[in-house]
Amino acid sequence: MHDDRTLIEARLKRVLDERIRPAVYPESVPLEVAVWHAPGEPVPVEEGLAAEVEPISVGARWGAPWGTSWFRVTGTVPEAWAGRTVEALLDLGFDENMPGFQCEGLVYRPDGSPVKGLNPRNQWVRIGAPVVGGEEVRLHIEAASNPVILDYHPFLPTRLGDKETAGSEPQYTLTRMDLAVFDETVWQLVMDLEVLGELMAELPVDSARRYEILRAVDRALDAVDLQDVNGTAERARRQLTEVLAAPAVPSAHRISAVGHAHIDSAWLWPLRETVRKVARTTSNMTALLEDEPEFVFAMSQAQQWAWVRDHRPEVWARVKKAVADGRFVPAGGMWVESDTNMPGSEAMARQFVHGKRFFLDEFGVENEEAWLPDTFGFAAGLPQIIKAAGSKWLLTQKISWSQTNKFPHHTFQWEGIDGTRIFTHFPPVDTYNCSMKGSEIAHAARNFKDKGRARHSLAPTGWGDGGGGTTREMVAKAARLRDLEGSAQVVWESPQTFFEKAQAEYPEPPVWVGELYLELHRATLTSQAKTKQGNRRSEHLLREAELWAATAAVRAGYAYPYEELDRIWKTVLLHQFHDILPGSSIAWVHREARATYERIAGELTEIIEDAQRALAGEGSTELVFNSAPHERAGVVAGGAGVPATTGHTQLASRDGGGFVLDNGLLRIEIDAQGLVVSAYDITAGRETIAPGRAANLLQLHPDFPNMWDAWDVDEFYRNTVTDLTDTASLTAGPDGTSVHVVRAFGDSHVTQVLTLPPGERRLVVDTEVDWHETEKFLKLAFPLDLHAERYASETQYGHAYRPTHTNTSWEAAKFEACNHRFLHLEEPGWGVAVVNDSTYGHDVTRTVRTNSDQGTTTTVRVSLLRAPRFPDPETDQGIHHFRHALIPGASIGDAVREGWRINLPERHHTGAGEVAPLVTVDNDAVVITAVKLADDASGDVIIRFHEAHGSRVRATLTAGFDIADLTVTDLLERPLTDTPVPERDGDRITVRLRPFQLVTLRLRRA
């Protein structure tokens, strides 16, 4: 037989595009349209419905950037359409290729009840099926003219990312406002042909099944009268019945489709717009659930559910009903889909506390899965946090974006730093916006790496990022793929059902140990420095506020601020969303974040000071409150007292220029350029700085990645570097313990203060940068005379190790990585720590010196600032403050202690005398991360702690109050019945911990 395959495939495409799809709506009449443009921010629904409107015509321009327009559409269903299905087609000026990234709308009835959302892939509203003819139609559309930020030529700088700079030029053209007859038979024919055509294209060219489909499609196209598609569509469908009925082979891959709309809580739109995006999407999904009995939709991010509850009660009522029916599924158990690299220990825990508690309180639903499809990599401390929250599964898709190495599994056990393992799945469909295209389904089956051992994977199905969700077309395609020869089998299921099936069939999957590093988006550890500093500061202020408020409540009857702390925690958690904290959102988002963090700091400082004043009492004794988990200058952790004196520091001129600082423990030499050329550990008799090198070296790189400007730094940035050694001035500080350095470069200035405090083994480097560079990367380097094949990097509830070498492509890909408060490197018996108060990104490299000593130089560089121009063209411009410290001779315990210290400065009050802590611990390896009152307002004291050195320890915790009862709990402060209760002797509690083990205790006061 002659090969006519390409001829028929081309015929299918043209006939579908030019004849069959247009016949879905064979008749239409225009609607009358009027509009009111809201003058400022979005208005309440009742105000928009009542506004005075003016006529507007199809073809007119509308919508200033970030504006809201209320359209009113009216019309009458023609009498001749009686008995037919009629829909309103409402095209606001959509580009079908940009669902979620441009204008959107929410349709209301005149009484204010929501109908459904409008977006580029969902432009219809059902009027009647069937109609009787003559019905009056009146609909209102709350239309958001969100500008297109990520356009066809992506990553171009734009001022549209902030309403203050976006201007007022209309963004869209009103395209279609019609009533139309909907021919469901033709629509079903379109679905038949799309599914078969897409499946056919994925089958081998020599496959018999491919040719069976080809012949059936050819016969169906013969059966269509192109001059009367509507009259012949059913005849064409009959030609496809047999090939659509052929069942899948028994070994076919099985896909659990989960209705989904990954909605970024802020990204290329502000937080206030996400509130409306969620309302539009949930309106659409509740409507689709009513129409499609097999469809299941899952939505994560408790914050987004709370927005619907608080801002759109009319939508919330529909959502609650769908949840009660088991069709609209709360997923993930987190407050937002947060970044997991940068949030601190307690913040990461509270993501689950507040997320899970919301779903429990509102619906009685216990989430057992963490749902993070788009998060930019996963810290090694996360598995035990997931488990401690009462969950046991993790889903993500983002690791498939890695540039260098292909992850070897799709279903596996992920093991964290303490040995906890979490059953984890990466959907092989490689998208969290699956649309049920044949290419996606075939890719999932081919790509699945666990074939022969497992058969199940998951496909999050629906338009996401900017929302929209699943469409009726996707549901129709899934119905045809439920059991179709040549395809994977598709069934709608909840995340829980999928994970139960996947775990049952694969009881012993492979194990991946350590962080799940995304080999992409590494610059998110540095972009938008003030957002990151606001997060770090807020986390530590919250620790202080809880600690001192709880202590004052127990000691002085202080009213514990439950509601204020709950609200502030939720605000901080929201800003840890994976496009806010990583610095990859538009200017508007980060401008608001800076203001929010300032407000939070003021509120928390007031709580802290009120509680400390209540504890200090009346008196004239100068007290220092120590919020850190370790003793400091004789002041006990979690208490207040009079600090001990600690010696003095000498400052002298250095031969050849510069200064020498000496406090008897360290001798620091600063040359005439303001560089640290020696950091000598007097006690150990050892130099810290590599020979011929200098620390406190600022280095500037060009920074123009191939794409994803705010997200990415590409490895070639290292090819060009400028050492910033020119000094405008070098002076001794007035206190005799510091040296001041001023530099200028480009359009920027740097002022540094290098301080050697008396009696302490740390050189503090305070850096102020007035930054006005573009597409540059600023680093601060510490070249160390140290031979280390790995280094420790703090993560949640412990630290993880990374190699300093690049033996493999996996190691080489980690050329920029994340730490929290410290990095630590050591040779046996001697180490060095670099600690920080607000930076996360860093790199560590090693070279062997070619001089006579043949030693190793290991260079730690902390990342300070970037200047990408997309999506915020003014990223990081302005004044920034950073604090770092170099700790020669540091053990891992010293690194832990100094990391806390630099982030929790002392607070001073006058009072009656010392303040005893609520709880003490006799082993520095045990770090108390939270002291608070229980969230249920019972007055019970919650103590959360972990082993921080990576060793097995025995420790005694001593409570500063009488204990009536002791319970081991999960993160939600619920008893763990399968966990042994520690030994207790009165107020003394003995604990035994494995490396990095996390424990939460609930102490009921007598």
Nearest to 542 by CA among 356, 346, 335: 346
**Vertex 477: Cα angle to 474 and 483 (nearest 5):** 135
pLDDT, position 415: 98
pLDDT, position 165: 97
Q: How far is CA 869 from the centre of its chain?
A: 21
Provide Rg for the chain, Cα atoms: 31
Check residue 469 and report its DSSP letter.
Answer: B
pLDDT, position 853: 83
pLDDT, position 2: 75
Backbone angles phi, psi at 159, to 5 degrees: -90, 5
What 3-state class would DSSP assign to 752? strand
Q: Are 661 and 741 in contact (CB under 8 A)?
A: no
Check residue 569 and report its DSSP letter.
Answer: H
Q: Are 494 and 296 in contact (CB under 8 A)?
A: yes
**Is residue 640 exposed (0-12), middle (13-18) or buried (19+ Cβ within 10 Å)?**
buried
**Is residue 504 exposed (0-12), middle (13-18) or buried (19+ Cβ within 10 Å)?**
exposed
pLDDT, position 599: 98
pLDDT, position 434: 98
The string of DSSP codes covering 68-97 is EEEEEEEEE--GGGTTS-EEEEEESS--TT
Q: β-pairing, 328-330 with 297-299?
A: parallel
**Rounded to whole angstroms, how far apart are CA atoms 622 and 607?**
20
Q: Where are the alpha helices (DSSP H) in 517-622?
A: 529-556, 562-574, 587-616
Strand order in the sheet with 919-921: 919-921, 953-959, 988-993, 983-985
Task: Determine which one of 162, 192, 339, 374 is catalytic.
Answer: 374
**Is residue 401 exposed (0-12), middle (13-18) or buried (19+ Cβ within 10 Å)?**
middle
Residue with tokens 């920029």: 816
Buried (b) or exposed (e) across 242-271, using 16+ Cβ within 10 A? ebeeeebeeebbbbbbbbbbbbbbbbbbbb
Tokens, residue 827 = 């040779």
pTM of the model: 0.97
The string of DSSP codes covering 913-958 is S-B--SEEES-TTEEEEEEEE-TTSS--EEEEEEE-SSS-EEEEEE
**Rounded to whole angstroms, how far apart are CA atoms 691 and 856?**
10
pLDDT, position 646: 81
Buried (b) or exposed (e) across 837-859, using 16+ Cβ within 10 A? bbbbbbbbbbeeeeeeeeebbbb
If the chain, 1006 residues long, is cut into consecutive pieces of 10 residues, what is the mean pLDDT of each piece? 89 98 98 97 97 98 98 98 98 95 97 96 97 98 97 95 97 98 98 98 97 98 98 98 98 98 98 98 97 97 98 95 97 98 98 98 97 98 98 97 97 98 98 98 98 97 95 98 98 98 98 98 98 98 98 97 98 98 98 98 98 97 97 96 92 96 98 98 98 97 98 98 96 96 98 97 98 98 98 98 98 98 97 98 96 91 98 98 98 98 96 96 98 98 98 98 97 95 95 98 96
Nearest to 955 by CA among 990, 920, 924: 990
Nearest to 116 by CA among 246, 304, 235, 282: 282
Check residue 400 and report its DSSP letter.
Answer: G
Q: β-pairing, 393-395 with 421-425?
A: parallel
CA separation, residue 1002 to residues 449, 801, 838 (Å): 44, 32, 31
Residue with tokens 């050849």: 656
374 in catalytic set: yes
Other Cβ atoms within 10 Å of 430 Cβ, number: 17
**Vertex 598: Cα angle to 592 and 604 (nearest 5):** 130
Partnered with residue 434 across adjacent β-strands are 461
pLDDT, position 852: 74
